[in-house]
């Protein structure tokens, strides 16, 4: 059999490449003669820059920057063909950069991402591809835009560093230095969700609780986003409220579109093209993908479901290995089958710690089922 392993990361546990290697090792213990190809995936979040940068044979450049809470952090981008920078929010100022796990939704910002982008521009990059996902902040991307030269001022004309909790204090914006910085620079943003900026399915109500926000803080963040959105529309004449995907990464997609003229692109489709996944699916007999939490959001264009949909076009079944599955058995989805790797009712922290072992065990059991089917078929002939 030809097996294509196209895994997504298990957030806060193992990255996409590690996930693929665990699946391959467990599968090969049962079926050592199968031909296995690993294509790690990311639709904008964890692992995006590394996966794309390495696939494009880029050079990794490390940068001293800040995490989401302003603490020193070693970030990076990949430089491709001396002119393109591949960077992602997650590895530079996302949730994974807060080592002690102490989240603060109001204080978190994206300044660290902006510092890395600024360094890439200084090194001669004129095309910046940014993966948006895995954020710890809800600051409309203004922390990053501040690092690139924009000056956000309060009612006293004092410059403030934007974060989720102080967006309402911004009364005026000086874009002159920013405009000089980004002149002749082309930005592209890979977005991993379809959510708009505001509303019940907006950036704050849907994603801020995952970033440590209390119900009261969610309301505050949503109100702050609304205020900065209308100020932004007044300044840039761009309707950030209506932008599809404007809620990605705490509104960073909307902010980058408005102030950096960034061109949005669907992270899943971009990754499929970069990794040549359609061709790999056509050659496969079976596709195995993965997702930390499989839910309705996954079905709204995230990488595992896009992979499965491509598989269905070529009559190649796709198995999805998940940490948790909130879908009902009769919900429509593109997967041939879904397996939860967690066999016990462990607390989430324990389950995350055991991801690698649970993934290995589940893959091993699935491979045995396939092997049994092959043996049965051989006996019949």
CATH code for the domain in which residue 258 is found: 3.90.1510.10
* Residue ending a domain, choose from 268, 292, 325: 268
Whole-angstrom distance, CA of residue 3 vs CA of residue 22: 14
Q: Decide: helix, strand or coil at residue 253.
A: helix
Q: Tens of pLDDT along 133-157?
A: 999 999 999 999 999 999 999 999 9
Q: Which of 241, 268, 295 is the last residue of a domain?
A: 268
Which CATH number does the domain housing residue 319 bear? 3.40.50.10350
Same domain, 263 and 160: yes
Residues 234, 119 share a domain: yes
Nearest by Cα to 64 from 51, 73, 53, 54: 73
Q: Are both 17 and 87 inside the same structural domain?
A: no
Strands in the chain per DSSP E: 2-5, 35-38, 59-66, 72-80, 84-88, 127-132, 151-153, 159-160, 172-174, 186-191, 263-266, 286-294, 318-325, 337-340
Q: Is 130 exposed, middle or buried (0-12, 13-18, 19+ CB in 10 A)?
A: buried
- How many domains does one find in the chain? 2
Residue 228 sits in the same domain as residue 342: no
Question: Which of these three, 268, 302, 328, is where a domain ends?
Answer: 268
Residues 170, 196: one domain? Answer: yes
Sheet holding 337-340, edge to edge: 35-38, 2-5, 286-294, 318-325, 337-340
Same domain, 303 and 244: no
The model's confidence at residue 301, banded by pLDDT at 50, 70 and 90, is: confident
Q: Is the pLDDT of residue 373 over 70?
A: no
Same domain, 264 and 280: no
Q: Give residue for tokens 């989805």.
A: 333
pLDDT of 294 higher than 80: yes
* Same domain? 36 vs 182: no
Assess whether 241 and 368 both reside in one domain: no
Tokens for 116, please give them. Answer: 């890395």
In this structure, the answer to whether residues 91 and 231 fall within a common structural domain is: yes
Which range marks the domain in which residue 24 is found? 2-41+276-380
Round to the nearest angstrom and report the end-to-end CA distance of the chain: 18
More confident site: 120 or 379: 120
Q: Are residues 14 and 86 located together in one domain of the fold?
A: no
Whether the CB-CB separation of 48 and 131 falls below 8 Å is answered with yes
- Binned at pLDDT 50, 70 and 90, residue 380 comes out as very low
CB 15 within 8 Å of CB 43? no
What is the pLDDT confidence band of residue 291, given thresholds at 50, 70 and 90? very high
Mean pLDDT of 329-341: 89
| pLDDT of amino acid 171 | 97
One domain for residues 75 and 123: yes
Residues forming beta bridges with residue 10, ordered by sequence position:
14
Region 17-37: what's the mean pLDDT? 96
pLDDT interval class at 378 (50, 70, 90) = low
Least confident interval from 161-170, 258-267, 296-305: 296-305
């Amino acid at each position: 059999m030809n097996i294509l392993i196209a895994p997504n990361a298990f957030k806060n546990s193992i990255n996409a490449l590690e996930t693929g290697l665990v699946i391959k090792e467990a599968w090969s213990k049962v079926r050592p003669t199968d031909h296995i190809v690993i294509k790690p995936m990311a639709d904008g979040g964890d692992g995006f820059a590394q996966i794309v940068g390495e696939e494009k044979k880029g050079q990794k450049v490390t940068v001293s920057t800040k995490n989401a809470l302003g603490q020193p952090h070693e970030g990076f981008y990949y430089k491709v063909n001396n002119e393109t920078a591949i960077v992602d929010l997650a590895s530079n100022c996302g949730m994974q950069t807060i080592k002690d796990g102490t989240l603060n939704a109001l204080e978190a910002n994206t300044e660290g991402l902006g510092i890395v982008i600024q360094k890439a521009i200084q090194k001669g990059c004129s095309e910046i591809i940014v993966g948006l996902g895995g954020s710890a902040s809800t600051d409309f991307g203004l922390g990053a835009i501040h690092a690139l030269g924009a000056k956000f001022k309060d009612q006293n004309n004092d410059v403030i560093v934007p974060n989720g909790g102080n967006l309402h204090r911004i009364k005026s914006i000086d874009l002159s230095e920013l405009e000089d910085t980004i002149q002749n620079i082309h930005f592209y943003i890979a977005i991993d969700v379809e959510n708009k900026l505001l509303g019940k399915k907006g950036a704050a109500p849907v994603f801020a609780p995952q970033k440590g926000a209390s119900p009261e803080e969610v309301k505050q963040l949503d109100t702050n986003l609304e205020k900065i959105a209308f100020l932004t529309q007044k300044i840039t004449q761009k309707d950030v409220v209506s932008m599809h995907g404007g809620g990605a990464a705490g509104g960073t997609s909307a902010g980058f579109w408005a102030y950096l003229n960034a061109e949005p692109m669907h992270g899943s489709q971009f990754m499929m093209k970069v990794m040549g996944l359609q061709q790999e699916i056509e050659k496969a007999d079976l596709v195995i993908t993965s997702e930390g939490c499989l839910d309705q959001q996954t079905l709204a264009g995230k990488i595992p479901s896009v992979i499965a949909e491509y598989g269905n076009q070529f009559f190649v079944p796709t198995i999805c290995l998940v940490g948790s599955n909130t879908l009902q058995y009769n919900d429509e989805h593109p997967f041939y089958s879904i397996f939860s790797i967690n066999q016990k009712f462990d607390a989430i922290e324990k389950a995350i710690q055991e991801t690698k072992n649970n993934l290995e065990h589940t893959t091993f059991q699935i491979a045995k089922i396939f092997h049994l089917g092959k043996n049965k078929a051989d006996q019949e002939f």
